[in-house]
Amino acid sequence: MDGTWLLLAATALFAGFVDAVAGGGGMVQVPALLSAFPAESPATLFGTNKGASIFGTANAALRYARRIAVPWRLAAPAAGAAFVSSWLGAAAVAWLPREVLRPLILVLLVAVTAYTALRKDMGMGPAAAPPRPGVALPAAAAGAVLGFYDGFFGPGAGSFLIFVFVRFFALDFLRASAVAKVVNVATNAAALLYFAPTGHVLWGLALTMAVFNVAGATVGSRLAISRGSGFVRGVFLLVSAVLIAKFGYDTFH
């Protein structure tokens, strides 16, 4: 393993940790891949990122499901809708420039982070009662919107998912993170179905990074489960602040 692959392996380890707790793993892995392989097609690097991250995300989702009560009435319809819309989002890259979204995403990130920081009690109470049957449709709508965004653009999708499930579905941060992982598995799988058949995945590199991504996700999910919603909220705010800084720099430079 040469120096470039070692650096990407370390990046995948950290990305898996961050993503398992509060989302944002793509924010770490994608820039590293673009920097390491500047001559490679962006589609191939995006596909490689998905090929690596799906294993870590699935590992985190499984660990959450084993240790806490995942609200499947929310998670299942959201993941199903996100799977379809993520594929459509990946396909939409060809006809809609990503740059038009940057200012809007920056504004949304600032609003979400500020709202969460000011509402210190949000998502910090005891686990809510199981969602009622009528929640499936709004959960599917949320999954569809954020799934399309994840397939089309991606950065911050996990953080947006956590915020939506805390703010609009009354989950605590820990369960919201668990549901977000389930939805992210679906969006990653859909994106791979788009990228893989056209050869846009460097499988050797993706599987190598996946091993380290899983290791990071294992540590991250264990810490989140053991330390609870307060820990997840803190990491969420930190990741959101970094995302704002990155989006601000990219937007204005």
The letter for the amino acid at 188 is N
Cα torsion angle, 20, 243, 184, 123, sign: positive
**DSSP state letters, 185-196:** HHHHHHHHHHHG
pLDDT value for 190:
93
For 64, half-sphere exposure in the C-beta direction (CA atoms, 13 angstrom radius) is 31
Report the length, in residues, of the chain: 253
Position 202 confidence tier, pLDDT thresholds 50, 70, 90: very high
Position 55 confidence tier, pLDDT thresholds 50, 70, 90: very high
* Paired tokens of 118: 């000011």
Q: Is 78 helix (H, G, I), strand (E, B) or coil?
A: helix
> Can you give the residue ranges of every domain in the chain?
3-252
Instruction: Work out the average pLDDT over 112-137.
Output: 76
pLDDT greater than 90 at residue 131:
no
pLDDT greater than 90 at residue 212:
yes
> How confident is the model over 21-36, as pLDDT tens digits?
988 888 889 888 988 9
Q: Which of 45-54, 95-104, 132-141 has the lowest mean pLDDT?
A: 95-104
Instruction: Work out the average pLDDT over 122-137.
Output: 69
State the pTM of this model.
0.88
